[in-house]
Each structure stands twice: as structure tokens, then as C-alpha cells.
Amino acid sequence: MANPIDADPNRQRETSAQRDGNAQQRDTPAAFFRGNPAPDARTGMNPIALRRAFADHLHYSRARESMSATPFDRYVALALSARDRLVDRWTKTQHTYYEQDVKRGYYLSAEFLLGRALVANLQALDIYDSFKTVLGELGLDLDELVEQEPDAGLGNGGLGRLAACFLDSMATIGLPTYGYGIRYEFGIFEQVIRDGYQVERADEWLRFGNPWEIERPEHAVPVSFGGYTERVPDKRGGFRVVWRHSEQVIGVPFDTPIAGYQSNTVNTLRLWSARAGEEFDFELFNAGDYVHAVHEKNQSEVISKVLYPNDNFDKGKELRLRQEYFFVACSIADIVNRYNRVHPDFSRFAEKNAIQLNDTHPAIAIAELMRVLIDDHLLAWEDAWKQTVGAFGYTNHTLLPEALERWPVALFERLLPRHLEIIYEINRRFLREVMDAHPQDQDRVARMSLIEEGHERHVRMAHLAVVGSHSVNGVAKLHSELVKRDLLRDFYDLWPERFNNKTNGVTFRRWLLACNPALAALVTEKVGPKWVTEFERLRELERHLEDPEFIERIAAVKRANKVALAKVIGQELDINVDPSSIFDVQIKRLHEYKRQLLNALHIVALYLRQKRGEPVVPRTFIFGAKAAPGYRQAKLIIKFIHAVAYVVNGDRRHSGLRVAFMPNYRVSLAERIIPAADVSEQISTAGMEASGTGNMKLALNGALTVGTLDGANIEIRDAVGPENFFLFGLTADEVIARRSEHFEGRSAVAADPELREVIELISSGFFSPEYRELFQPLLDRLLGRDEYMMLADFKAYSACQREVEAAYADRQSWLRKSALNIARVGEFSSDRTVREYARDIWGLTPVEIDLGAAMSLV
């Protein structure tokens, strides 16, 4: 986004000192408004009010004048100006929900990968252009202020970004919903690349505070751990269970407004921060033992310090379980308290509350709600269970058995003794139902039990989520079928009515309107502005595909985005890339099944072709990925990609290929890469990617997909047309068959001369001359079991990439395919997905927020 004052080449440029001085004259409240009527700086939407709001916040909220203000001061002043305009809508939204006693939806997720909020909120309020003009008049560039905002470090990958897209869609549609999660002080990590290796640094995204959030200490929740349980007499002549905890942590909520796009709805994301029950032991402090005096504070607050601690050791496992129970306990308490404000008993709890579990991380919520209803509110088991199952829905996000959480029973018993008792009772009653349905099948009983027997007993959290929910959904058609057929087959046989599919989607507000404004403006020109909330209208673009001018304008937008990304790559990596080359993009969490390594092997093959003098279409390969800190194989793949990049980029005799690994992949970086992509690499091993949402974002911005029949790729291919999608590779069933045949990668090498040449070059130490055995662990896994079918699929992948080269050479055909992708992916809007959840699982309906209605203050 260019600064408007840069548009006139004849305009005399101000020096930075002149600019600051002039801005000081213009944005000091007293100077600018002396003798003028004061506009409504809190709620006014006209340029005068916006200018006053910005000046006021700079002066009164940041205690700065323009000469002393930093860019961050100005960003905060702008953010607070936008937040002011959300507050009326926010309070009115919550008041309306209470006033109408609506059914509410609660989205529980360990991750919310929000990205930056400023642009999204300005666009939601329809004041983006106005503020850009106002700031331009003050000599300030809105784009520069946007860069001051750190990405909110609340997620790792697709799971968290999906949750963020859902929040946007829920608010835009007007659904009465809330998000619940953890306010991580440090995100997953900041990725730094040193000598080709990933190095993790703390992601201090809250270092300078967060102007969007509001702390709510008055709604703090105590959370218990440890101790023991005992049975005590109750007033009815029976007994009740009391949990005598040994430690307590306080959960303090921080609320962030989630604005619906150009609507009056502003929902809430409530994130919990852990505080100690006691700040410090005063006696120890007075005695001079300062370290132990704050021991409890440090132990308690570590719970919300970092996203996903490394669980390769026992303390890491314990901390992760503490995290999950902490945010679940806080959230369930909040939900119950809100319900209790207007309802005399729990007979309508499920009728008024829908709680969605985003994967297995929050599955302990089922046991927690049962504990609250039985122990705190004295419901009978049957009544509590009816309300629990009626309220909960469970979304499965993985087909990898190792990714379905399992907690050692011993750890559970030590940290959450009451919950283990409740899980045992749920399991006892559930297994009775299984035995009644299958009297002679003890193997089935063992498979379905919530407790996995063995050398060390484990609690199966996915089983708990299925048993305690009335709905279980996958996130793509293939994924949902594989969940029913393979992963949870026994449960599907017992309760087929519980299982359904909800194919994921992405918010077009973030992933087209905000990140690719030039393309968004062109779409608006052709189909009108309603496409932003009415995704079906994108299809109307097809009417313009025979218009050469329209196609050329799409090409010009793509070219400009590629030039902009090339500049970023040059500045950050010192790599000179050609914007006319194919920008081939693979950006996602690094895991072997996502097969970044297959992509890298193909780059080696192209390099060898180039060295032999064969023609190679110029191509720039762009990677962005973080590997989990304890995932050694993934981190070695990052090193390999950098080793290949070092050789390819450094070969001065052949300049057709470039490899750029963009460090510290995050939402704001994705917003730069996706609009510039020509090719979208969605090459996961078939049957292993639940859905994918990066594939949707890239197609929406005109990238053509190279992909397997995996996850949502299948539905994207059906939508855009097989002729506009580059398909290769084994199917999910073929992958299973190869594994059952004990396929080994060396057989693929023996049958493919090109692949053999690639493997031999790597094995020779060509990419690691200082340590020739460096990449042998990668080769050993490939040549052996080849679990992720990289060598098995290499020949088909290489052939598919030749098709890509041939297609790119036909410029007009390529541009038409790109335009068709944009026009036909409307169904992958998260608005559609959320409407399906609301209709089929949650039973929610949109609520209209009337800002003009009177509101009593409570």
C-alpha cells in the first residue's frame, strides 16, 4: 500500500525533521482544534473526529507530542482510536445477548493465530481509507504504522489460524459466540536461521503491551490442582465428593474485541493468564529467602508463559496438561456463571449453550463440566451427563494416531484426581453400552475404552471427546470419511448419527481484501462490494474471463505483488530473484507428511537438469516453515533446504533457479507471500492432511495448486476444475496398500534414473562437504520404509512439475486458469463453514444488534 503523498512525483519531499515538526503543529489537540467545535473523538467516524481521536490518544494515552512520539506510539494511538469505535458495538452486543437470552456458542481452542488486528479492525469499521487520508495529511504513512504491530503469538499453524478465521466469520454473520484460550506471554518461538539451522528464540509479542485487550481481574477464576478427594454427607442423606486441592492458580481474563465486517456485532475472545494464588510468602521474604518467597508465583505463572512447551520429557508433559486444564477450568466456570445469571437451574443448559472442542486439547472440559454440575451444583449423574453431551461438539483435526492426546494415568491422578474418578465412571457406563451392543467382542471393548491398558496406562482424550459430545466432525470430505472408516470406526459403528463433515474455510476479509487490496479492488469493480460477505458472488467473475483487458489487469496485480515480494526477499535474504520466474510457494508447519523434503528433492533434480544443459523454466522456490523444537528430522530438513539453496543460489553460471527460505513464518509474512504466488504446493502424503487452509488462501489469490488427493485438495480440484489443478501421486488407499506390502524407497530409486542421480548426489556429501554424513538420517528414512511415500511419489511429482512448466509457458492459458481459481473457490469461505456449524451442530441463529436501542447500564 503506497503512501498517497508519494503519488505526486512533483511534490517536494519533507525532511524527517520538517515532517515531525509539521505533524506536531497539525496533531496537537489544542493547536488544531483551537476555535473549532470539538468533534466526537470517541465514536465519530468522519475525518475530523478520526483526526481528533488520533491526536488525543497520542497526547493523553501515550503522553507524547509529535517530536517525541515513536512509530510505536503512533501505532498505539491509532489502535486505541479504532478500539474506541468498537466499544459501543461491543457493549451493546453483549447487552443484547443477555436481553434476548440467546443460545450462545463457545469455541475452545488452545490456539488462536490472529495475526495483526489493526487493518482488519479499520476495515471492519469502514474507516481504513479515511484514516489513511487523515494520517497522510499529518505526514504519516498508515502502512508504516501497521508494521509496528507484532503478530499475536497465540498459535502455531493451521489449527490456530482456522480458529481466527472462525471468530471473524461468527462476528460477521452475527452469531452470539465467544472464543476461549490462553493468553500466552510467549508464542511458539521466533525462528532464526543460523548456518542453515533453525534456532529458537523467545517470541516476546507482549513486550510492549497489547492495545486491543482489556484486562478483567474482577472475573478471575480459581483453578485447583493436586490433592485428593473425599466423600462427605450431603443434606439429602447421601454423599457428595469434595476435592481437597493442594495448590491453586488464579486465571485472569483478558478480553479482545472481534469485530464483524461492517456490522454492529462485536464478539469477545477471552484469553486466560495465570497468576499465583499468593504473590509471595511474606515470612520467607522477611527472613531473606527471596528466591523461595516467590516460588509459588513463578510455578503458577509458568502455565501461561509459552505456547506448547516441549513435551519430550515429563515436566513438559505435566506443564502441557496443566495448561489445558487451566484454560478449560476457567472457561467452563465462566460459561456456567454467565448461564447462572439468568437461569434458575441447569435443565436448559444444553439448550442455551453450545461448546465446541477445537481438537483434543480442550477435551478435559467434558470431565470438568461434569465435576462442576455434580460436585458444585449437586445434579444427579444422569441429568449432568444429558446436559454435557447435549452441549459439547468435537472437531477432529488429525488422522495421525500419535497426534491424538494420551495422558499417563499416574500424571492425571496426581494433578487431577477428581477428574480421573469422573473419567473412570464415564468409562464404566460407556463400556456397559459397548458390551450390550457387542457382547462377545472384548477386543472392541479394549479398543474403545477411555483408558488404554499397557505397561503404562493412559487416558485417551479423543475417546473422551467422542463419548462426551453429541457431534463429531472432520474438516474435509475425505478426512471425515477416513475418521469414520479408520480412525474412529468403532465409535462410528456405535453412533453413526453423531458423525458429520464440516469442510474448513478461510475468511476472505483477511485473505483477499486485506492482504491483496489491488486484486480485491478489481474484484469489487467487476462484481460489486458484496462479495466480501457473500462469497457466492465471486462466481460472477467468470463472465469477464473472455475480456483480455480483465485478464491483463489480473496479471498486472500478480506482477506487482511478485515485485514487492522479490524486494522483501532481497532485503531479508540478499537473494536476487526474477519476478518473471514462477513463484513456487510451500508455506506451512514443517512435518514429514507435508513433504517439504519431496519439494527439495525435486529442486535438486532441476539443478542437475540445468547443469546438463537441459532447458529449465526459471523458478523461484519460496519456503516458510517452523519445525517443532524437539522434532529433529524436521529441523534437519530445514538445514537440507538451506544447503540446497546455498548451492543453487550460488551457481553463477546458471541463474534460472532460486531458493528462498523465509525465516520466522507467521501470519503477516503469509500476507505478503500468498498474493505473489504462482504455484501452491499442497503435496502432503494422501490420507494424512486433515484439510489444509493454505491451499484455499493461495487459490483465492490466483495460485494454481500442485497437489495430491488429500484433505480439501479434493474439493478444491472439484470446484476449480481438474484442468485448473495439477494432480499427482498415490491415493490414500494406495498409500495404505504400499505400506501393507512393506514398500521400501530404494525400490523407487532403482526404477527411476533421475531419482537415483538425486539420491547419489546427496549421499556423496555434495550439499554438506564439511560433514558428508550430515543428511544420511534423511536418506536412511527415505530408502527404508519411506513412511511418507516421498520416493514412491517422486516420479509422478517430477512429471507433474513438467506439466506446470508447459502450462506456464502458455501465458494466456495460465492467466485464465488463475482467474478461474479466484472465481470458483467461494465455497471455501469460513462464512459457509461457520453457517454449517451453526445450523447442524450448535443450533445458533444470527442476532441483530441495534445500536440505536436504549441500553441500561448494569
Give the pLDDT means over successive 10-residue stretches in the chain (858 positions): 35 39 44 49 90 95 91 97 96 96 98 95 96 95 96 87 97 98 92 97 92 97 96 83 92 98 97 82 55 59 79 74 97 98 96 97 98 96 98 94 89 97 98 96 97 95 98 97 96 98 97 98 97 96 95 97 98 96 97 97 97 94 95 97 97 90 96 98 96 96 98 97 98 96 96 98 96 97 97 98 97 97 97 98 97 58
Task: Give the 3-state secondary structure of residue 140.
Answer: coil
User: Among the options 96, 693, 705, 833, which is catalytic?
Assistant: 693
All three cell numbers of 331, joined, read: 472457561
Q: Are 157 and 588 in contact (CB under 8 A)?
A: yes
For CA atoms 17, 23, 29, 35, the dihedral sign is positive
- Cα distances from 712 to residues 587, 683, 691, in angstroms, run 16, 12, 5
Residue 307 has a pLDDT of 82
Residue closest to 624 by CA, chosen among 584, 674, 661: 661
- Cα distances from 198 to residues 191, 193, 623, in angstroms, run 6, 5, 13
Whole-number Å distance between alpha carbons of 307 and 152: 12
Q: What is the pLDDT of residues 558-574, one digit of tens each?
A: 999 999 999 999 999 99
In this prediction the pTM is 0.92
Residue 246 has a pLDDT of 86
Strand duo 266-276 + 247-259: pairing: antiparallel
User: Among the options 270, 697, 717, 817, which is catalytic?
Assistant: 697
**End-to-end Cα spacing for the chain:** 43
Residue closest to 461 by CA, chosen among 404, 420, 385, 422: 404
Amino acid 316 reads G
User: Among the options 594, 717, 781, 817, which is catalytic?
Assistant: 594
Number of H helices, E strands in the chain: 36, 23
User: Among the options 444, 502, 537, 589, which is catalytic?
Assistant: 589
**Among this protein's residues, is 235 annotated catalytic?**
no
**Among this protein's residues, is 103 annotated catalytic?**
no
**Among this protein's residues, is 544 annotated catalytic?**
no
Whole-number Å distance between alpha carbons of 813 and 815: 5
Residue 237 has a pLDDT of 77
Residue 297 has a pLDDT of 62
User: Among the options 74, 89, 397, 824, which is catalytic?
Assistant: 397
**Among this protein's residues, is 594 annotated catalytic?**
yes
Task: Give the 3-state secondary structure of residue 476.
Answer: coil
Amino acid 495 reads W
**Among this protein's residues, is 418 annotated catalytic?**
no
**Among this protein's residues, is 697 annotated catalytic?**
yes
Residue closest to 108 by CA, chosen among 271, 349, 265: 271
Residue 12 has a pLDDT of 36
Q: Please state, as a whole number, how many other Cβ atoms lie within 10 Å of the Cβ of residue 107.
A: 27
Q: What is the pLDDT of residues 164-181, one digit of tens each?
A: 999 999 999 999 999 999
